Amino acid sequence: MSRKCLISAGQLFSLLLVSSLIIMVTTNSTWTGGGDFLDNIISCAIAFAVNFIAVIPLGVLYRKRPTMNILDHGYHLTGWFGTVIALFYGLYFLTIDCYYLSVFQVFNANMIEPEMPSWLIVIAVLIVAVYAAWKGMESISRTSVFILVMLLIGFLFILVTSIPQVKSENFKPLLYNGWNQTIQSTMLFLGRSTGLATLAILLPATKGNKKIGFTVWNVITYLLMSIIMVIMVGVLGNAIQTQMFPMHTLAAISGIGPFQRMDSIFLGIWLMGVFIKIAIDLYLFGSCMQRVFHIKRGGFFIIGGAMAVGIISVLITKSVALQHLFFDVYLLAPLTLFASFVIPLILLLIDTIKCKNKTIRRMEETLEVQHENSALD
């Protein structure tokens, strides 16, 4: 099917970079599986390499049919089962939003304003995100470029003002306690790396050099993550194990001259990142529901999806059992792996088998014609 280009490659990977930045601000020793925070640098490198491998099936499919996204390929190659694929992607994007919005509520309840009702934050974030998603991907992508500049300036300011407080004695040898933490933190980073699933739907609507954009996005993301890990360990030392949100702690104690307590910058970074992430995912959810129900516009599904995200995220913050379920790396990582790699790989295998069968049938038909001509001679 023909698809009009909506955004440039630069805009696409800018919004992916913005949504990736919230991976950094929500990382702690509990979720990474231990207190050897410096080992997360190795996890960053592994996740960086895995992303370049995982994108191969999607890249091959896109090269074969540049005007089709993963949903189009699902219907083209599997028929009615394409509806199941579209439904899975839609629910996946909502699940990710529930995860990030509930983490933000936990942060607010523990670090900012415990007395503030969590539903007030949810409503505020979702109203803005719904409006952005309703306006379309062009509006979201243009906004993301501006927000990306603001986020990078904010991160740079926090890191530069923290460097004088780095102490060499806070650094321990890598892999001092083995590979267990590295494995779990790698799963955490990959589980939160939803960019490939986003690419699976948005690639055909993007113009420009996507290979360079993909490379720059990954390099900046994981390089910045590694730098942040090093500075957090150098400044906080063993105290990092006791911090629910060590990046917030780093921002709170950083400062230079009249600029002190950069935690307000941290809060702004998180809010802008969550807004962009939820806006993108709500737009993609609406696109998936358009394919499921074969309708032209998915605006009402955007509103319905936002309501579901709001209700579920509030329930998560009020239930320890739900927090254990949704915050478990072994739930998020398999879902992301399936959306980013397994489904494109399965569709690529189906496509390859169908192409081979067509080739065999053509060869058989050619041989039959040759035999008939020989018999006539």
What are the tens digits of pLDDT across the range 162-218?
888 888 888 888 887 788 888 888 888 888 888 999 999 999 999 888 999 999 999
User: In the predicted model, what is the mean pLDDT of residues 27-36?
Assistant: 78
Q: What is the pLDDT of residue 258?
A: 52
User: In the predicted model, what is the mean pLDDT of residues 209-235?
Assistant: 89
Residue 108 DSSP label: I
Mean of per-residue pLDDT scores for the chain? 85
pTM value is: 0.90
Which value, to the nearest 10 degrees, does the dihedral of the CA atoms of residues 292, 144, 32, 123 take?
A: -70
Q: Mean pLDDT check: name the lowest of 53-57, 115-119, 196-200, 339-343.
A: 115-119
From the list 87, 162, 376, 133, the residue with the least C-alpha distance to 276 is: 133
Residue 216 DSSP label: H
What pLDDT band is residue 225 in, cutting at 50, 70 and 90? Answer: confident
Distance CA 321, CA 216 (A): 39
Beta-carbon-side half-sphere exposure of residue 3 (alpha carbons within 13 Å): 20
Q: What is the pLDDT of residue 285?
A: 96
Residue 259, beta-bridge partner list? 256
Tell me the three state secondary structure of residue 7.
strand
Is residue 31 exposed (0-12), middle (13-18) or buried (19+ Cβ within 10 Å)? middle
Q: Mean pLDDT check: name the lowest of 10-24, 37-51, 272-286.
A: 10-24
What pLDDT band is residue 2 in, cutting at 50, 70 and 90? Answer: very low
Q: Mean pLDDT check: name the lowest of 113-122, 145-154, 366-375.
A: 366-375
Distance CA 97, CA 47 (A): 21
Whether residue 137 has pLDDT greater than 60: yes
Q: What is the residue-wise DSSP string for 65-114?
A: -TT--HHHHHHHHHTTHHHHHHHHHHHHHHHHHHHHHHHHHHHIIIII-T
Distance CA 146, CA 349 (A): 40
Distance CA 295, CA 202 (A): 18
Distance CA 36, CA 40 (A): 8
CATH ID of 7-372, from 1.20.1740.10, 3.40.190.290, 3.20.20.80, 1.20.1440.130: 1.20.1740.10
Cα 189–193–196 angle (5° rounding)? Answer: 145
Query: Which residue ranges make up each domain of the chain?
Result: 7-372
Q: What is the pLDDT of residue 60?
A: 95
Residue 206, beta-bridge partner list? 7
The CA distances from residue 103 to 115, 148, 246, 271, in Å, are: 17, 21, 14, 12
Distance CA 296, CA 292 (A): 11
* H-run or E-run covering 206: strand 206-207
